[in-house]
Structure 1
Amino acid sequence: MGIPHFLAIPYPILGHMNPLLQFCHVLAKNHGCKITFLSSDEHFKKLKKAASSSGMESEMMRLVSLPDGVDPNDDRSDQGKVILTTRTTMVDMLPKLIEDVNGMDCDNKITCVIVTKNMGWALQVALNLGIKGALFWPASATALASFDSMQTLIHQGIIDSQNGLPTKEHKEIHLSSNLPKMDPSAMPWYCLDNTFFFLHMKQEIQTLNQAQWWLCNTTSHLEPGALSISPKVLPIGPLMADQTTSSSSSSLILKEDETCLEWLDQQQPRSVVYVSFGSMVSIKPNQFKELALGLDLLNKPFLWVVRNGINGCKNNNGNYGLYPDEFHGSKGKIVNWAPQKKVLNHPAIACFVSHCGWNSTIEGVYSGVPFLCWPFVSDQLMNKIYICDVWKVGIGFEKGLILREEIKKKVEMLLGDEGINERCLRLKEIVIKNKQEGQKNLNEFINWAKE
């Protein structure tokens, strides 16, 4: 058997690129696999520039790109538009790119294409060319099991076939006896443009079912129920245990502010409230104001990630003009982007105020940090159920505008709950031990790709 050559194709947003790029590092550095990583032209220059300085690109890992067709003036937060444009633009170009990559190394041609959600069309292209295909799922195994159960839920009359909303007879959704009951709004297809996304994923999951493996950054301890009802799912987590480079893949797109680590070094152990809502979420001005004043009200040190381009960003004069006038922030540090794994593992961190994206959820669990859950959309609501009700390592906010007093109250409640802290540490130990199982499953996948 030769060396497997993987063509990795993420959907062009950070929440997909980051975990897939991290996975590719593991395949290349730890297992000697060859990687061709396909990004959109939009991200390629940033990736290439960072790769040349960090040593990420090597003989075993090469970056290539194709246009995603999204106009520079278009709103990239319009995921429906990005999904459709990426597919229609790239689908005809991908066979030629595969041919060119194979032509450069005839002795080590592409043996397997790995795609993320929304890129099932690329999996179909690969299979048509006789190349193996696998899915790398950037969210939880439970979210994947939910999408895979769509048709069953429709047949059972539990959800509507056109928008995924529950029928009047069903106020809760229970995918199986091994999974928690969930409010319909916690389903990962529940979003503002419910009809488009639901119909897209109903078709997408059928395409993704052609992959032999569904790879998830999870463990059998974290999501046993989801694994039991989706036999294709292969838990290969926790992936952050295999981090092989000093720079995380997210820092290739968004520049990390390392000064926050020096600031954390000056804080007392378990004293800092860390607030980050990931790379996609933006909060409305009235909620941003309450969060800012809630952090002031806490009277505790805080580290707050406020991305440029959202509420609270610097204006043209370099001033933070969108913060409320009464906001002091004297006990905190605000950064545009943080080296999150390092932050969460810092002894000064007391808790993680999180949007509950899966990448952040896994990183927080692996670091043994209590969560204050603030989910916004999609699988974040499902992840909150696991954090609060299944693993019991955090507490959460309810829907609607969250006032500053509520923020203060919930943080103090979380920090005063020793039971949560103890469960966080126990879960961390278990997940670290799960690394052996994840490694075994990963080896099984690589051996399959070699055949």
Structure 2
Amino acid sequence: MAEEGHEQRRRLVLVAAPFQGHINPLLQLSAVLHSKGFSITIVHTQFNSPDPSNHPGFNFLFLQDGLSDHDIASLDLTAIVLVLNDKCQLPFQECLAKLVKEQETRGDQIACVIYDELSYFSEATAHNLKLPSIIFRTSNANTFLARSVLIEMYVLGRIPLADPLSQKAVPEHPPLRQRDLPISSFGPMKNFFKLLGNARDVRRSSAIVYNTMDCLEGSSLAKLQQHCHVPIFAIGPIHKIVPAPSCSLLEEDTNCMSWLDRQAPSSVIYVSPGSLASMNETDILEMAWGLANSKQPFLWVVRPGSVHGSERAESLPEGFREITGEKGRVVKWAPQREVLAHNAVGGFWSHCGWNSLLESISEGVPMICRPSFGDQKVTARYVSQVWRVGLHLEDELERGEIESVITRLMVDKEGDEMRQRAMDLKAKAELCIRTGGSSYNSINKLVELIKSF
């Protein structure tokens, strides 16, 4: 689309990674930078592409990504990312070179390229075209440090672990145990560490941006900065800075909001295992009866295809809906930010993806942590042991344990104390993005850096 008005804005090119947990924060970052006076072009693969009509203030360019149906059907996320970085290099080179010429014709210029750490193919192209580049990490500082420890362990031959569920401490990174290390469950180990190494490499980029906060990760951010030769900007929680429409890859059931309106304050446990997690039928059976037996109102997201061998409704146990009645609501997908902001929600059963954690803390909602893989395990450990705003539900799911942990969070004094700590973090997060706050200042410094290019 054409820019409104005659005033020229310097253009930023932001390169996304095609996963729910990566697209949203990149679009939120784009909205923040657009509010600071920059024009925005989003570069995205055809795979999992967002709808441009939801973001009329941005231009969108879509790359031929070379993914086969077999690649996508494999659900091997590591392999998909490696293929994308291999196949997108040339299309991006052509796309960006054309965009540079178009901007020059208009007497304008591209200020820099900002790329998701998983779209690291972008850096070489930016460098070849003499454009500065900035890395955007949608995970957090603690996870980055944990990945670095993991790479060192792999080089020393200590990976794979003899016991992936070991309770042994990781001395290089307390409070993690070996079972909390962000090891991938997708594909061969060598591919995973190839991806980790590529994503970690700063190359010739000029800065790194994290969607995190000093009040959560101040010491880890300081440690990272000590060992990094480029500035690090912690600017989160981005979703609270400038209103930006959600880019959901699944259709959101907004009818659940009217159901929440009928519930008592802080009474509902919101259950959402995430956009990539999958369960077996035993898991969903135990979850169902654990929720029912807790007698607590619940809003439960059961994503189509998330239960092995089943689509959705038939995966719920016989009699479950009749027993729970109006006390429970099951949906395919929910508008999560709005749900967590609703005063009826008093707890969040989460996979502990970083975006979900930020959204939960930003609303003062404590958590039940049920990580599925990778970075989520690191975050879950920090939620339960460091920030102490959640309970870690580990090992096999069992209805009695589920009922117990829901009661602890939603009814017992222990849960009230976690809720208060979550509210304290909410207040600190709000201070971060207010005038003079750490994230507010980091955004301004980032803008100054970009304008200096």
Partners of 1:25 and 1:368 lie apart in 2 by 24
Is the 1:112–1:134 contact (alpha carbons within 8 Å) kept by the matching residues of 2?
A: yes
Is the 1:166–1:184 contact (alpha carbons within 8 Å) kept by the matching residues of 2?
A: no
For 1:43, which of 33, 41, 48 is the aligned residue?
48
For 1:301, which of 297, 304, 307 is the aligned residue?
297
What is the TM-score with the length of structure 1 in the denominator?
A: 0.88
Q: Name the residue aligned to 1:133.
A: 133
Q: Name the residue aligned to 2:68.
A: 71
Aligned residue for 2:334, secondary structure, equals coil
Q: Name the residue aligned to 1:322.
A: 315
Query: After superposition, where does 1:158-237 map in structure 2 within 5 Å?
Result: 160=158, 163=159, 165=161, 171-175=168-172, 180-193=174-187, 195-205=189-199, 207-231=201-225, 232-237=231-236
Is the 1:306–1:313 contact (alpha carbons within 8 Å) kept by the matching residues of 2?
A: no
AA aligned opposite 2:407: E
For 1:393, which of 381, 389, 392 is the aligned residue?
389
AA aligned opposite 1:208: V
Partners of 2:23 and 2:267 lie apart in 1 by 32
Is the 1:187–1:381 contact (alpha carbons within 8 Å) kept by the matching residues of 2?
A: yes
Q: Name the residue aligned to 1:62.
A: 59
Aligned residue for 2:47, secondary structure, equals helix
**Identity over aligned pairs, percent:** 27
Q: Name the residue aligned to 1:15.
A: 21
What is the TM-score with the length of structure 2 in the denominator?
A: 0.88
**Unaligned regions of 5+ residues in structure 1, if any?**
none
Cα displacement (A) at 1:365: 0.6
How many residues in Structure 1 have an aligned counterpart in Structure 2? 427
AA aligned opposite 2:400: E
Cα displacement (A) at 1:146: 2.7
Aligned residue for 2:214, secondary structure, equals coil
Partners of 1:404 and 1:363 lie apart in 2 by 27
Cα displacement (A) at 1:346: 0.5
Partners of 2:187 and 2:130 lie apart in 1 by 36
| 1:37-76 residue CA offsets vs partner (Å, 9 max, x unmatched) | 01111334x513xx2xx4x222xx2011012211235416
Aligned residue for 2:320, secondary structure, equals coil
CA spacing shift, 1:166–1:182, aligned 2, 3 Å: farther
Partners of 1:372 and 1:143 lie apart in 2 by 19
Cα displacement (A) at 1:434: 1.3
Q: Does residue 269 of the first structure (1) align with residue 269 of the second (2)?
A: no
Is the 2:151–2:193 contact (alpha carbons within 8 Å) kept by the matching residues of 1?
A: no
Q: Does residue 280 of the first structure (1) align with residue 276 of the second (2)?
A: yes
Partners of 2:186 and 2:90 lie apart in 1 by 30
For 2:80, which of 79, 82, 96 is the aligned residue?
82
Q: Name the residue aligned to 1:115.
A: 115
| 1:237-268 residue CA offsets vs partner (Å, 9 max, x unmatched) | 111211423x3123xx2221111111101111
CA spacing shift, 1:33–1:165, aligned 2, 3 Å: farther
Cα displacement (A) at 1:152: 5.1
AA aligned opposite 1:301: P
Partners of 1:404 and 1:443 lie apart in 2 by 49
AA aligned opposite 1:439: Y
Q: Name the residue aligned to 2:431.
A: 433
**Unaligned regions of 5+ residues in structure 2, if any?**
1-7, 226-230
Partners of 1:249 and 1:367 lie apart in 2 by 20
Q: Name the residue aligned to 2:228.
A: none
For 2:402, which of 407, 424, 428 is the aligned residue?
407
CA spacing shift, 1:4–1:259, aligned 2, 3 Å: same
Partners of 1:299 and 1:149 lie apart in 2 by 43
Partners of 2:263 and 2:296 lie apart in 1 by 10
Query: After superposition, where does 1:342-353 map in structure 2 within 5 Å?
Result: 342-353=338-349
Partners of 1:384 and 1:333 lie apart in 2 by 25
CA spacing shift, 1:444–1:148, aligned 2, 3 Å: farther
Q: Does residue 146 of the first structure (1) align with residue 146 of the second (2)?
A: yes
Partners of 1:150 and 1:6 lie apart in 2 by 34
| 1:113-156 residue CA offsets vs partner (Å, 9 max, x unmatched) | 1121321121122123211111111111111223345565567x
Is the 1:141–1:233 contact (alpha carbons within 8 Å) kept by the matching residues of 2?
A: no
Is the 1:312–1:322 contact (alpha carbons within 8 Å) kept by the matching residues of 2?
A: no
Aligned residue for 1:111, secondary structure, equals strand
Partners of 2:394 and 2:421 lie apart in 1 by 22
For 1:361, which of 357, 362, 375 is the aligned residue?
357
* Cα RMSD (Å): 2.5
Partners of 1:218 and 1:372 lie apart in 2 by 21
Moved more, 138-147 or 270-279: 138-147
AA aligned opposite 2:63: L
Aligned residue for 1:92, secondary structure, equals helix
Partners of 1:407 and 1:370 lie apart in 2 by 16
Q: Name the residue aligned to 2:5.
A: none
Partners of 1:170 and 1:132 lie apart in 2 by 44
